[in-house]
Structure 1
Amino acid sequence: MDGKNKIQWAMDWMPVLGKIRKDFISNKPFKGLKISMALHLEAKTAVLAHTLRVGGAKVRISGCNPLSTDDEVALSLNRDYGVEVFAKRGLSREEYYEDLMKTIEIEPDILIDDGGDLTALALKDKGIYKNVKGGNEETTTGVLRLKNMEKAGALKFPMFDVNDALMKHLFDNRYGTGQSTIDGLLTATNLVIAGKNVVIGGYGWCGRGIANRMRGLGANVTVTEIDPFKSIEAHMDGFLVKPMKDAIRNADFVVTSTGVKDIVTAELLRYAKDGIILANSGHFNNEVAVEEIERKYGKGREVRKNVKLFKIGDKKAYVISDGRLVNLASGQGHPVEIMDLSFSIQALTAKHIAQHPKKKTSVYPVPREIDLKVANIYLKSYGIRIDKLSKEQLRYINSWKEGT
């Protein structure tokens, strides 16, 4: 399937963003504005970029991960939809940052980022960041970086935390990451999950999504955590909870999803069983410490597409997709309908920035009315009807006088 067909397929299954796009075509909220984007460049992302462009923006886009770009989609997005694209699968680190720089050298009005690399690069050049009215950040890791930038006084323009919007993290992080991680893992390995011992590093929204879907496929699931509250939640959800050093001893698969580096280190692999398979669903490729593993045990040997074998003494360990996002490097990314919600939040928040360009520098939550609008368009699109409070119920919940 060529890139244009991939984009059209995604577009056909994204009714919420389709409704927003019709409004953008009519009202052109981005007329005269420049938008620079760094997202996983595949078909769903292309639909978002197209939506912003038909809303009047000049759009440039690059990838946010060297292994997540779909080259056919990137070609079509430029050729058929008029978006300026600077992305290619399999880039070196230097090439990756060169493409990011090309994306922001237009001195954008709005940034849309995933992971924080584009934002961090823009902040190095006053000639670029002085024009930025605001931006959006898609993912947990990027939001953490933004908050650290703000604490350090390095942030120079307002940014919106799209990750914590309800219509993003309740669905994208849990259902999206859960399903797409399984997709990537099975595509890479072609192995059965049922009966396997699977360790999930982290029990945030992404981790719990992966854990529940692994259990649904018949895995014996253990969770590792540093947070006492999430640990108790995992325990009460029916999962074993252990430190990684203990959990890894019997693990057939370890999947990390924490946003923190060094979840699986070269040292920890000493305790792993023979044949362990390591995969990562966090944004960066340092949750499984691949560089450290290579220094200690030597370069891995590719034994299957996206699967490398490492010799750990007399044992074997396998790493999927060089420790990069398994759902995109080895799979197709999140389901289309899930990204319809996340990218609808992105589109409407970008519109909000265009209409409110003078906010103070800070990291802001997505306005509740945007969350509600996306939710209501979704319900209508899928023919789902819900109840409404009566006048008496509204009176009751706004009163304090009526008790036992």
Structure 2
Amino acid sequence: MSDIADRSLAYEGVKRIEWADRSMPVLRQIRERFAAERPLDGLKVAACMHITTETAGLIRTLQAGGASVALAASNPLSTQDDTAAALVEEYGAEVFARAGTDREGYYAHIHQALETEPDFVLDDGCDLVNTLHTDRTDLLGTVKAGCEQTTTGVIRLHQMAREGALRFPVVAVNDTDTKHMFDNRYGTGQSTLDGIVRATNTLLAGKTVVIAGFGYCGRGLAERARGLGARVVVTEIDPVKALDATMQGFAVLPMAEAAVEGDVFITVTGNRDVVNADHLAVMKDGAILANSGHFDVEIDVRALSDMAVEVHHGIRPQTDEYVLADGRRLVLLAEGRLVNLAAAEGHPAAVMDMSFADQALTCAWLASAHASLSPAVHDVPKEIDTEVARLKLDSMSVSIDLLTPDQEDYLHSWRIGS
């Protein structure tokens, strides 16, 4: 039995889902293929993902392939109640999600999704898989395999695998080129700045924007912030990524130094306490703090609360102002959670088209391949990544060259000299 906020919102949800679907041609093609081939017939899927219009496209595709789906929210602040209602009332999924639910409700919903005794699990941050391995070990025997679509989740899964704790194979969908290159770089890059501007209406031109982390998400953010006229400072722990940022013309500083200079701070590392009490103590009056690194631990919100003598909640949507003892005001967006989903609408549907196409095709592959996989973190087969890219190019009417037989021979023979 689903647990959603308001079933009467279904009509509005359907309209928005259909709008997003227009920008997801790859997933539409896969849905048509699944409806004909039924690769997931009779299988049960439990997912912990953002409840958005784009996610609805994936759920409908899995259903077209024959799966029954139970869905919990991976972030209460990103949950769209009308989308949840549409998925339940119009599309026949089980959904356990309410916008703004607390931590207790969040985990209760994960447990409810797991009560369906799934064959496969789809995760966004590893909380569902973690719950299976801690609180619901009784269900581990029924789960055949899973997928993870975030960098943070993949990091946690690798830790589980190294310790011998992971009990079933999980595919790192996040690590495909068509996911991390486009979703992380182009999706996060645009949607994060969208969330910051919606929440604050700040002008980024002329501001110093400090970006913590220069992975794909950080690169996308740095490129787009610079394009909007900001001075961009990057903080990093990886010498290679720091060198890359430097060679691209960005300033690179330790956070302790960047904290003094920044007007806007954005964390995208997947780690905790990236902005800590020492950094908060030296920031400018009016500094804006935002996170797009999945969990609400990258900015030490507890330290910020302890330092504040006064807090003005909701001075703008998803915008809280913390007044410190010396009169400085620090502005926290989306409670330190994902600003691009809480204060905006997440990635554009055209980006999620590829990410969810990877998910759908990987699920279909797992339906036949899971028995041959060890309990470890596995890569998506290269042919799936290539197929998604090909379908996306076709949908954009972009053509590319093909190798001739002589070129194929040349690339695959060591006998041909210079």
Whether TM exceeds 0.5 here: the answer is yes
Cα drift, residue 181 of structure 1: 0.4
Q: 1:281 aligns with which of 276, 286, 292?
A: 292
On the 8 A contact 2:169/2:370 being kept in 1, the answer is: no
Q: Does 1:388 align with 2:398?
A: no
Quote the sequence identity (%): 46
- 2:281 matched to which residue of 1? 270
The aligned runs of 1:76-115 (5 Å cut-off) are 76-115=86-125
Q: 1:309 aligns with which of 321, 341, 344?
A: 321
Question: In structure 2, do the counterparts of structure 1 residues 102 and 298 end up closer, same or farther at CA, with 3 Å as the change threshold?
Answer: farther
**Comparing 55-64 with 309-318, which one deviates more in the overlay?**
309-318
**Comparing 259-268 with 332-341, which one deviates more in the overlay?**
259-268
Q: 1:137 aligns with which of 141, 148, 151?
A: 148
SS in 2 for 1:317: strand
- 1:49 matched to which residue of 2? 59
Q: 2:198 aligns with which of 162, 183, 187?
A: 187
**Amino acid corresponding to residue 70 of structure 1 in structure 2:** Q
SS in 2 for 1:2: helix
Cα drift, residue 29 of structure 1: 1.1
Cα drift, residue 298 of structure 1: 4.9
Cα drift, residue 357 of structure 1: 2.8
Q: 2:412 aligns with which of 395, 398, 404?
A: 398
**In structure 2, what is the Cα distance between the partners aligned to 1:177 and 1:147?**
23
**Amino acid corresponding to residue 36 of structure 1 in structure 2:** A
**Amino acid corresponding to residue 48 of structure 2 in structure 1:** A
SS in 2 for 1:267: helix
**Amino acid corresponding to residue 385 of structure 1 in structure 2:** S
Which TM-score applies when normalising by structure 2?
Answer: 0.95
Question: In structure 2, do the counterparts of structure 1 residues 13 and 369 end up closer, same or farther at CA, with 3 Å as the change threshold?
Answer: same
The aligned runs of 1:3-402 (5 Å cut-off) are 3-124=13-134, 125-298=136-309, 300-302=311-313, 303-312=315-324, 313-358=326-371, 359-402=373-416
Question: In structure 2, do the counterparts of structure 1 residues 142 and 298 end up closer, same or farther at CA, with 3 Å as the change threshold?
Answer: farther
SS in 2 for 1:356: helix
Stretches of structure 1 that go unaligned for 5 or more consecutive residues are none
Deviant stretches of 4+, over 3 Å: 401-404
Cα drift, residue 399 of structure 1: 2.6
**In structure 2, what is the Cα distance between the partners aligned to 1:339 and 1:123?**
29
**Amino acid corresponding to residue 101 of structure 2 in structure 1:** L
On the 8 A contact 2:310/2:323 being kept in 1, the answer is: no
Cα drift, residue 202 of structure 1: 0.4
SS in 2 for 1:300: strand
**Amino acid corresponding to residue 12 of structure 1 in structure 2:** R
Cα drift, residue 126 of structure 1: 2.8
Number of residue pairs matched by the alignment = 404
**In structure 1, what is the Cα distance between the partners aligned to 2:167 and 2:310?**
41
Cα drift, residue 292 of structure 1: 2.0
Cα drift, residue 296 of structure 1: 3.0
SS in 1 for 2:71: strand
1:338-397: per-residue Cα shift (whole Å, max 9, x none)?
000000000010111111231221100001111111111112222111001112222222
Stretches of structure 2 that go unaligned for 5 or more consecutive residues are 1-10
Which TM-score applies when normalising by structure 1?
Answer: 0.98
On the 8 A contact 1:34/1:59 being kept in 2, the answer is: yes
**Comparing 389-398 with 334-343, which one deviates more in the overlay?**
389-398
SS in 2 for 1:81: coil
On the 8 A contact 1:308/1:318 being kept in 2, the answer is: yes
On the 8 A contact 1:123/1:129 being kept in 2, the answer is: yes
**In structure 2, what is the Cα distance between the partners aligned to 1:96 and 1:59?**
18
On the 8 A contact 1:201/1:207 being kept in 2, the answer is: yes
Question: In structure 2, do the counterparts of structure 1 residues 223 and 59 end up closer, same or farther at CA, with 3 Å as the change threshold?
Answer: same
On the 8 A contact 1:107/1:129 being kept in 2, the answer is: no
**Amino acid corresponding to residue 155 of structure 2 in structure 1:** L
On the 8 A contact 1:107/1:127 being kept in 2, the answer is: no
**In structure 2, what is the Cα distance between the partners aligned to 1:191 and 1:296?**
25
**Amino acid corresponding to residue 401 of structure 2 in structure 1:** D
CA RMSD of aligned residues (A): 1.2
